[in-house]
Amino acid sequence: MISAVRFLSKPCRGLWAVAALFFFFIWFPPALASQAYNRSVSKSELIPEALIGFSLYDKPAYAIVVEKDTQTLMIYEYKDTFKLKHRFVCSTGEVRGRKERSGDRKTPEGVYFFTKAFKKKELSPIYGRRAFVMDYPNLMDQKSNRAGNNIWLHGTNKPIKPHDSNGCVAMKNDDLKILARYVCLNRTPIIIENEVNMVPPESQLANYESLIQFLRAWNTAFVSGDRKAYAACYDTPPEDQNTLWKAWDKVRTTWQQDQVPFRMTMKDVSLMQTNPYVVALFDEVISLDRRVRFIGTEKLFLEKYGDTWKVVGEVYQPSKSHPDMTRPMVAALASLDRLYKEDKAIAKLVAEWAEAWRSKDIARYRACYANDFYGKGMNLKAWIRYKERLNRRYDWIRVKVEDLKISKGQKLSAATFLQRYSSSGLQSVGMKTLRLKRSGNAWKIYRETWHRTRK
């Protein structure tokens, strides 16, 4: 058709195009035209509508999709787009429908994650050679009063039959062995639906962009301390939100007053949907100057109200480093603020040490050192006598600290910086490291080293 139009005169082209459109919409009304567009997309390019998009850094990610109606399990890989990696036969609950209560022999429907893995030696024969525990019932199941537990994805030592489990998803042992390579606990989603709707990847773009925009607005409202905008992101603000704000306002105000740069970021965002909600999973990281703290892997359940997304539930994924998953951000903020205060105390010690040296105030200078200091073959007493002799020798002393870097431990820390020293008798530039230890509630110097960098 395009090649034929190309050879027509401009007036004829216009008439021909109008006629073509007229006959197209007579024979193909809009609904059928949409289907015609979908048919133009290769079947192999279609993806489950449940997979909205991932935003990852330098690594592939995987999602598992189970269709109960066809007893099929699919593994999708995401790099720049979703691609079907494997397709396997599976078996779900012998009773059709969505799981509602314990013992109903139905398989749940929704977006779930694996919380634990078992190997053959830990399993009874009914579960085959591998098993992964799902986090059913999730927060949304609980809100809907759905009950039950011990929903697993597991192998089996008997032939696979359709709808033959007590509610779990069962697979052949060899197939599950392949699948296990793609599972990351608390990260890899398993999406279970009765029927999987397949769509062109491009059809997910608008949803993906609106969700990312919402998450950015939600994050920005919190970081900026805009309580009104933050509360507007929720259908009902969590009961413990005042606790979070109290912790955040306290440290944010101090950091802003001290003009210390800080930010909060979301990394490795995954977006999945299963009616009526969307699951957003991401790593939450907060940084203060050069200090960085991993808060946790947060999971938001989102619903659309008109043109606006709202958070209808939130929870953090389990983590060994964060046993209290109710509000790990409160713990992370407190930890980061403690580090900041320690850094501030160490920087203050270094400034006090340099000023005492410059002013030749030997009492202030000595107060910066631990009693067990040792350096250049001298203990603290000998070191102070050595400094007193230098003070008498020079008419004036200047000490400048540049590019201070602090590496902190629980009991021992270090302050490294470029030291510019000048006096009436000597000039030098070098890297100085002050090794510090706790003495009561204060940091003290117990070792120091210096090496010349240039004249």
Q: What is the per-residue DSSP string for 220-289?
A: HHHHHT-HHHHHTTBSS--TTHHHHHHHHHHHHHHHHHTT--EEEEEEEEEEEEETTEEEEEEEEEEEET
* Beta strands 152-156; 169-172: pairing state: parallel
What's the pLDDT band for 410 if we cut at 50, 70, 90?
A: confident
With b for 16 or more beta-carbon neighbours within 10 A and e for fewer, the 244-257 pattern comes to bbebbeebbeebee
Residues 24-82 have pLDDT tens digits of 333 333 333 334 344 456 777 899 999 999 987 678 999 999 999 999 999 999 998 99
Give pLDDT, residue 16. Answer: 37
Q: Using the 8-state DSSP alphabet, how is residue 197 labeled?
A: P
pTM of the model: 0.80
- Name beta bridge partners: 51: 272
The strand order across the sheet containing 427-439 reads 397-408, 412-423, 427-439, 442-454
The reply to whether omega before 323 is within 30° of 0 (cis) is no
Residues 103-148 have pLDDT tens digits of 999 999 999 999 999 999 999 999 999 999 999 999 999 999 999 9
